[in-house]
Amino acid sequence: MAVEIDLKAAINAVSDVVQNRPRPLREFDQIYMKTGDMVMQSELVSRWADGKRLAFIGDGDAISVCTAYLSAKGIIDTGPAHITVFDFDERIVKAVTRFADRERLDNLDAVLYNCLDAFPHAEPYDRFYTNPPWGASNAGESVKVFTRRGMEAMHYSGEGMIVIADDLELLWPKQVLHRIQRFAVEQQFYVSRMMPRLHAYHLDDAPNLKSCNLMIASLSENKRAIHSEAIRGGDQLDNFYGRSASPYVRFVRERQRVDYGRANTNEYEFELIDDEV
């Protein structure tokens, strides 16, 4: 269903979020969605999770912040009751919390968390969202890890939105999609909807590669107790962030408070007028 929004106001709001967002770390497959698609995706997420408690398992794109911000500014009239971002990058966690504090977004917070650790929260969420490493070099094993943590966040009852590669020409995105759909079925979920080839990215080595929204829902409406376990070895970790890029970092720490809307002082220097004298 098409929903009319003030496009200029929406783009300007998402621009505020992008200014606050740290730069991507390509070695951890942080690849950011283009701004126009962020507007569309945030509006979609706000409707899909309207009134629900929503967990983001990683969120380099900052769709969580966009969703909360667009709703708070009245640009869209739906939105989650609460959003929590779980990310291993402290720069992202602090960028979320600083923005939420500055804009008085009381329904948005963030937790420093690595998906290879046991999931920390006991109170179940209603929805989860993840845009994980796409699994080109590990047949989707990295996607499965992020998806499992999302299911655990909901105590295996609710709905999830998984953003993964989708391409008509390449074979590996089809293989990953097949494996993730099969994994969802094994966990008593089913594919409720798929929105193909929806998003574009700032990706130098594959500028035309797009992603889809794979939306899953649990067969049971009953929450159940979970026993979440850490992952510390095995084939599942091979090529986790791409070819020959297995996990070796628990957390990315922020060295200093950075105002992401301004140039870093190590990016420039001044040549003074007086130097010419």
Q: Average pLDDT, whole number, for the chain?
A: 91
Query: What whole-number distance in Å separates Cα of residue 142 and Cα of residue 240?
Result: 5
In a domain, 259, yes or no: no
- Dihedral pair phi/psi, residue 258, rounded to 5°: -115, 135
> How many domains does the chain fold into?
1
Residue 275's pLDDT is 56
3-state secondary structure of 271: coil
Range of the domain at 178: 7-243
In a domain, 273, yes or no: no
Q: Is the pLDDT score of 137 beyond 90?
A: no
In a domain, 262, yes or no: no
- Sign of the CA dihedral with 46 first, then 48, 53, and 59 last: negative
Q: What is the pLDDT of residues 151-197, one digit of tens each?
A: 999 999 999 999 999 999 999 999 999 999 999 999 999 999 999 99
In a domain, 256, yes or no: no
Residue 234's pLDDT is 73
In a domain, 79, yes or no: yes
Overall average pLDDT of the 216-235 stretch = 88
Find the CATH number of the domain harbouring 168.
Answer: 3.40.50.150
Q: How confident is the model at residue 260 (pLDDT cuts 50, 70, 90)?
A: low
Residue 264 token pair: 């870093």
CA separation, residue 229 to residues 48, 186, 241 (Å): 29, 18, 20
Strand order in the sheet with 53-57: 108-112, 82-87, 53-57, 127-130, 159-166, 210-218, 189-199
In a domain, 168, yes or no: yes
In a domain, 163, yes or no: yes
In a domain, 180, yes or no: yes
**Whole-structure pTM value:** 0.91
Mark residue 252 as left, alpha or beta (left: phi above 0; alpha: psi -120 to 50; beta: remaining): beta
Query: What whole-number distance in Å separates Cα of residue 41 and Cα of residue 211?
Result: 12
267 or 275, greater pLDDT: 267
